[in-house]
A and B are shown apart, each in its own frame.
Chain A
């Protein structure tokens, strides 16, 4: 187990290094230097600058150095816990990241809190007897909810719950303090898709287990049905869904972009989107790195969890 962990950690560090170097290489273009200049000096300020002054400014900002020199400097900075300064909002990137990440973490916490028990139960119920009425209803609903894109879910939920019934506010900017009511719409939007997805996966895993020989043996030797399900089937049927739950972290990180932009929730996805729109490269870079870090970590966790709960796999 320890060896697996170390291998995953090394792999993760390698991927992070490659990705961050890639990011630096991408942002090492003239177009992006100009974007930084526009953001810092203003469009007019840049237009009045002569070519020589522009280069002098680049020198002063250290943007003229080759990208690997800046990359090493940035890595050193990162080692001291400094992500740099946001150009657009004039605060430290780490402050911005901390705020938006904690907002998104709140959202993600509630998503997982509701998603995991609900979808595992529904998936197991559907997979217990393939082709039964319950299975057909749950499966149909799951295909249905995973087919509606999240912008459509967001729009329709706004229409029904906020405009029609007036139960919740339409936007979740939370300008005057945190409120759970404002969290309902983004939460539901994420849940509707994610529950459907996890139900489908759990059902598939459960039907496979139910068709196996050892379950048939358990039924034929006269065990009570609930005992077959709870003691024999569940343990194997839940292996795949549990590992998928960790991978969902990656999915949620990607889904929050559209949900947070739609509902104007001040989270990680919105920060990333704004940074891309304003050419706030420091924030975009740091945000991407964090996203990749979380994604790779969740993949690693999923592997470790798989090794822990699946007795048939003993990873070297």
Chain B
């Protein structure tokens, strides 16, 4: 099918501004992280070396982002926050910190030395080092969050393109199914999906897709409806390109601006969803650390002022990451409105 379309596209190469570099860098960071977090048992002895190239990749990505977005201060703050947590996520196995799941000394207040070990952020009820749990927790949250958002985007954009570009019955069908999903309050939908399928990371991806994809679909559908009547699409149709090719290669890259902003916001929402679900016990399972789990475990224990650090540390961690996503989105929108 697409063989007919390919030559037409070859001839018409789009000058993508360094998109390949960005994609390569992000893949260098994301793929090892996914392999490391989701499929660690399958990796065997290779696991410890897997994340080594991701560290430099994060730094290069960060420098590129700063150089490109230096005009917006708010975007810089956002990118710095996200970059910090990404760097933590890829370097945490090599940092000289305690094992996050090993009980050492229970209820040590922050910045004290016990048994010849410095507990920078203290330890929790079961004696595990909170600094180590916070840093490791970021890895799980980021990997599942980014993956879930990416899957939701794939599904949502796919249906949105079908509905908006093809129109007619396709549009009616896609919109009706989307409306059904949208008529559930988000948390109710999460509870339902995870109760039926059982709590696990992969089911979180599914639940997030169910709730986010219809919204993404609406956005993409609107953009596609608007772009359908533009000259470049009609030119492509006249050239006889396949609808699939037009949708993916002509239409989608041209409406990417608002989508990138929305994706940043959605990364924040997904991070909230993942921590909230773990807090409710419906998401990722213990004992591996995760910020939602840390709040869940600390909530019944930290009923005194002197133990409140157990609640403060994970709350600040998750807030700073989401703040990073939201600031980036705000800065990007500001810049896109300026030009």
Chain B residues contacting A258 (CB-CB under 8 Å) are 187, 276, 279-280
CB 8 Å contact bits of A89-106 with B (1 = contact, 0 = none)? 000000000000000000
Known: A19-B183, A250-B185, A292-B183. A143 touches B326 (CB 8 A): yes
User: Assuming the A-B contacts A151-B279, A163-B302, A295-B183, are A288 and B322 also in contact, with contact meaning beta carbons closer than 8 angstroms in the complex?
Assistant: no
Stretch of B62-70, B235-243, B310-318 with 4 or more beta carbons under 8 angstroms from chain A: B310-318
| Chain A residues proximal to chain B, CB less than 8 Å | 15, 18-19, 22-23, 26-27, 143-144, 146-153, 155-156, 158-159, 163-164, 170, 250-251, 253-255, 257-258, 261-262, 269, 272-273, 276-277, 284, 287-288, 291-292, 294-296, 299
The smallest C-beta distance from A119 to any residue of chain B, in angstroms, reads 18
Residue B46 interfacial (CB < 8 Å): no
| Contacting residue for B188 out of A15, A158, A288, CB 8 A | A288
Q: Which 4 A-B pairs have the closest CB atoms?
A: A152-B315, A254-B185, A254-B187, A155-B311
Contact B292 A151 (CB under 8 A): yes
Which stretch from B53-61, B83-91, B189-197, B218-226 is at the chain A interface?
B189-197
Return the contact of A163 from the options B268, B271, B308, B318 (Cβ within 8 A): B308
Q: Does B180 contact A (CB under 8 A)?
A: yes
A82 to B179, CA, bound (A): 28
Q: Per a CB cutoff under 8 Å, which of B191, B268, B279 touches A276?
A: B191
A15–B180 CB distance below 8 A? yes
Asked if B272 is at the interface (CB within 8 A of a chain A CB), the reply is yes
Min Cβ gap B193→A in Å is 9
From A22, A146, A155, A253, contact of B315 by CB (8 A): A155
**A161 to nearest B CB, angstroms?**
11
B185 with A149: CB separation less than 8 A: no
* Interface: B39 (CB within 8 A): no
Complex contacts, B302 vs chain A, CB 8 Å: 159, 163
Cβ of B299 within 8 Å of any chain A Cβ, yes or no, is: yes
Besides the contacts A18-B180, A254-B186, what 4 more A-B pairs have beta carbons closer than 8 Å?
A15-B180, A258-B279, A272-B188, A284-B195
Chain B, range 245-283, C-beta contacts under 8 Å to A? 268, 271-272, 275-276, 279-282
B166 to A: closest C-beta gap in Å: 23
**Partner among A143, A288, A296 whose Cβ is within 8 Å of the Cβ of B192:** A288
| 19 CB < 8 A contacts A-B | A27-B196, A143-B330, A147-B325, A148-B322, A151-B295, A152-B275, A152-B318, A155-B311, A155-B315, A253-B187, A257-B280, A258-B279, A273-B280, A277-B281, A284-B191, A287-B188, A288-B184, A292-B185, A296-B183
